[in-house]
Structure 1
Amino acid sequence: METSIIPSRTIFHNTSSNEIVDFDFKVDSDIDFKALCYFVATGFFLGDTTQFKKIKALLPASTIDLENGKIKKQESRWKWHYTPQDISLKEAVEQFRHLFDKITKDQIQERKVIVPLSGGLDSRTQAAVLGKYDNVISYCYQFEDGINENQYGEAIAKVQQFEHHSFIIPRSYLWGVIDELADLNRCLSDFTHPRPMAIKEKLGEMGDLFFLGHWGDVLFDDMRVDENLSETEQVNFLYKKLIKKGGVDLAEELWKTWGLEGKFVDCFKAELTDKLAEIKIDNLNAKIRAFKSLYWAPRWTSTNLCVWQDVGQVELPYYHDEMCKFICTLPEKYLAGRQIQIEYLKQVAPDLAKIPWQSYHPKNLYNYESYYSLSNFPLRAMNNLKRTVNHKFLKKRPITLRNWEIQFQGHENDVQLRKHIFDNKAFEELVPREIAERIYKNFIEGDSVWFSHPLSMLLTLSVFANKRSY
C-alpha cells in the first residue's frame, strides 16, 4: 500500500505487533510524554508520534509492504525537492490552470459538490474552476458577534450562481459536541479550530462530495524566510513558526513534571535540526514549505478534516500528489505573494477577482497592493477608531475574531471549562492541579490571548485523560 504525499487521513500502526490498527484511547501502551510536550507547544504531533509510545502514524509518501496484515517494511517513495523550470509567470499560470482543471474533473466526476467559500484565495480558485459545473452547492460561516465574513462567500456564490447557504457559528457550541469531536480527531488536535463541527449535520445534508481548498495558501506562497540564514538560524526561524503563544511555557512545566531528560527547548530544536537536515533542498523557502507539508499538513490540517469526512467524501485539489509534484517545479519568485493564484483568477474569473480580498478589504485582486499606501491610510485609521469607540466608550461587545473567544469567554463557557479541567480525576493524575489552576487564572485575570493556547491544550489533555480512563 502507499500513503499520499499529503495524506488526508492518518493511518496508525502498532510497533509491537507491526499491524495497522484503529486508534484506541485504551491501547495497552505507555504514554509518550515527550511527544505530548511537543504537542502542547505546537498544537500537533510531530512526525509519526501520537500520545502512545507503541502507536505511530504511517509517514507521508511511503510504500508499505504488508504480509498477512503485518508491516514488513516502510520506505519513502517520493521526496520534496526544488527543481524549478525555466518558464515565465504566464507559462506557470497556464500550467496551473491545466493541472487544476484536470484534478478537479478527476476528483468531482458527476457528483453533487459542496464547496466552502471564504474571503481568501484558495476557495475562490475552486469557485472559479467549478463555474463550468452545474451540480454545485456552496456555503460559508462566521462567528456569532464576529466580523461579516459571510459577505465574501455570498458575493462569490452570486457571481458563480451557486446554490448557497450562510451559517453563524454560535457561542458555546463546543460543549455539546466535544465528546463526539474527541472520538473523531482522537485528541490529536485541540477542539477550538474545527468550526464546521457546529454545523456538521447541516453540511451532511447538502450533497455527495466536499471539495476543500486546504493547503493552497502554503503551496502557493513563499515562506518569507531569508535565503542567507545559517543552519542554526533556520532552526530558530522554524521554531518560532511552529510554537504557539504560551505553548512553550506549559511544555517546559510538563517536561519537568514528567521527569524528562534535558531541557525542552534544546530537545525540540534538536528534533527540528534532524528533520530539516533530512530535506535535501538548498532553497530555504522551498525547504520550509516542504517541512510544513511533511509534518504540519498531515498531522494538524488533516486531523481536522475528520469533521467533513464523518458526513461525506472529501477531495482536496491542493493535496493531490500531482499538485505537490508541480509545486516543486515552480520558481520561487512566482510563488511569492500568491501571484499564480491571483493571475489565474484574473484570467478565468475576472468578476471573482473584483470581489474584495478579505486580508486587504476593501481592496480586490486588481488593487490590493495599494492597501498599505498613504491614500488608504485614512480608511484603515477610521476602521480602527470605530472599533475602539465601540468597545471602550459605547461598551459594545468586542468583535469576535478568534476561535477560542466563542468557546472560552463568557459565563457558560467558564462553567464548562472549569468542569472539564478541575472536575476530572484522570486529568489530575496526568497534569498537576496547580499547573492547570495557574494557566486558568492567568487566562481569566491576565493576558487571555497569550494563555488561550495553553488553556486549549489543557482542555485537550483533560478530554484525552477522560477517554483513556473510561
Structure 2
Amino acid sequence: MGCHPAEKITPALKVLVRNSNMQTKIIKTDEALIGIAWAPYDHVTISKDLIKIGRISYDYDAFLGIERWNGNGVAFEFNEGALTILIDPWFRRLVYHTTDGKIISNEIKAILALDRSHTQKIDLVAVDLFIAFHGFYGSRTLFDSIKILPAGSATVISQIGAKNTQFDIQFDVAIVFEWKYKSTIPLWLDKDEERWAFEMASMICERMQEITDEGVEGLYLSGGIDSRLLMAAIPKKNMKNINLIHMGNDDATETKLAKETAKLTTAYFDYYNIGPKDVIDHCEWQIWSTEGSAHFGSAMMAPTILNNIHFINGLPGDLSMGGMWAEKLAKYPINKNSKYPVGEALAKSSMVSWIITKLLDTSWGSLDNRLGAIYGELQKEADRFDYLNDSLKYELYAMHNRVRRNGVTVIMQDHGRVEQPYLHDEILEMCLTIPLEVRKDRKFQMNVLGIIDQEHAAAPSTSMIHVKKTSGIGNKLEKILFAVIKQLPYFSGMGRKYIHKRKAKRKEDHYGPLNTWLRTDPDFKSFIITKLNSFKKRNLVNASYIDSLIKEHMNYEFNHIGVLSTLVDLEIMIDLFVDMNGFKLTNTYFKEGQTDQ
C-alpha cells in the first residue's frame, strides 16, 4: 500500500495554533502524529517538529507565494520533514506549491491531492489518529466507505464530480463515517448509530489519553456534517483547552448539522453524566459555509469572547433581507452625528440595524411604543413574504433556558431554514447556557442564547433572539428582536467584501465605499482602539482579550472589520439593554435608576 508502520513516524509533534482571539496555544503529543482535518481558509505549515495553523486572507497572490486559484480551497506549505498530515478530502481543491498536486519534498511520503480535473490513487503514511469527515459537497466529494477499526488499514474512495480518488491508509485509530446519499442529502443517525457514536467517542478519549502521560492540552478538529466527531473530541478527563471547530456548508445540510449536533452534544453529556464545566475550558464553535463568499469574514474574524468561552458567529445578515430593506434602512443611520459612516453602513446592511435603530430612537416614543411600531412594520413586510410570516409565527417565541451557572454569557449563533423551526429548540438546548441577567432582583432574565439569521435568498430564515418569557417586556421582545446582538452587519453587504479582495474588485460598485474607507481612513484605527478601551470599564469582556484585539488590529489591516464587528456587537449589547430599562449593566443584573457609564 505504500504505508509505513506507525512506530516509524517521527515523534514529538508540536502543534502551534493561533486562535481567532489571537492567543497562541501549543499542543504537545510525545509519541504520535495526529491527522488533522482542517478547514478552508486556513493554512498549514508542516516541518519536522512543528505544524502552524493560522488564518489567511483571500489575497493569495501575496500569501506565502502560493499560486492563486479560483474557488474555495486550502493552501498548504509542506516543508522538509517526515511528518504527514492527512487532510479530509472534502475541499474542492487542495493546493500545494503546484496546482497539479506534485510532491515537493521527497521526505513527504505521500500527499492527498484532490483536483477536480483528474483522478489518482494515493498512498499515505500511517498516522496514529486519523480523523476525517465525509464531504459537504454531495456529488462533488464524499466518502463512499471506510472501515472503522481500533487499528489496521482501509481504503477510502472520495468521489469528486464523476471521478473517484482512492487512497489507502494505515492507522491506530480511525474515525471516518460511512454515509449513503440520496442526491446530496445524507441520511441521519438512528438509535444504533447514536450508541455507536458514544462508543467511538469513548475510544478516542482513551486513545488521546494514551498518547501522552500528561494528557493532551487541546484537540482541534474541523470538518463536515458529522457532528459525532465533535462529541468524540470531548474527553472524559485529563484534557484542557478543547477547541470544537464545527464547519458547515450549504443551508440544506447545515440545518440538519445543527440539529444533529445539538442533540448529540446534550446526549453525550447525559450519557457520561458530565457537564461542560468538567470537560470544556475553552470552546470555539464555528458554523459557516465553505461556499465562502457569504460567510468567510464573520466566521473567521469576529469572535465573541466572554470569560474564555468562545462562540464564533458564522453568518451575515443581508443575504436574503438586505436588498428588500436597503432603501428603508438607509434612512435610519444609528448614529447620525458620527464622524464615521458606521450607522449608515449598518443600516444599509440588514434589517437588524433598522430594528436596533428604532429601539434606540426615542423619537418613536416610549419603549413600549417602539416595540409595537417595529413589530407593525415587520408584519407589513411579513405579509408580502411568506417565509418571514412563517418565521414570525413559528420562530419568534419565548425560549426556556437551561441555567448551568452564573456570571458569564455565552452567545451562540446558528442558522436554519424556515421549513425546519424545530432546529431552534435543540440547538439552544445544547448551548452552554449561562444567563445575562438584565433585571433587578433577577425576576426578569434576558438570556442571550442563540441567534438564528437568514441564509441564502433562496432559503432564508429570519434572524431572531430567544428571550425568556417572564414579563410583559419579554413577551414583546420575543416578537421583534431579530439578532440584535450577534448580527455582524459589517460582514454582510459591503464590509465582508473587504476581506474578499478577489471578489470585491469585480463587484466594487455593488459593495460601495466602505471598502475604500476601511483601508484608507487614517483615523480609523484610533477610532476603534478608543472604543475597545472603553469596554474594559464595563466588566463584560476580559481585559486581556481587548488588549489582544488592539494588538492584532494594529498589525493586520485585513482585521479592521473583524475588530469593528466585535466592537459593534459589544456596544449594541450594552447600549440596547441600557436604553431599554435604564438599568446598570453589570456581570449579574441591572439596577434600576442607574445607567451604564
TM-score between the two structures when normalised by the length of structure 1 = 0.27
Q: Which has the higher helix share?
A: 1
Of the two structures, which has the highest relative contact order with CA contacts closer than 8 Å and spacing of 6 or more? 1
> More strand by proportion, 1 or 2?
2
Which structure would you say has the larger Rg?
A: 2
Question: Which TM-score applies when normalising by structure 2?
Answer: 0.23
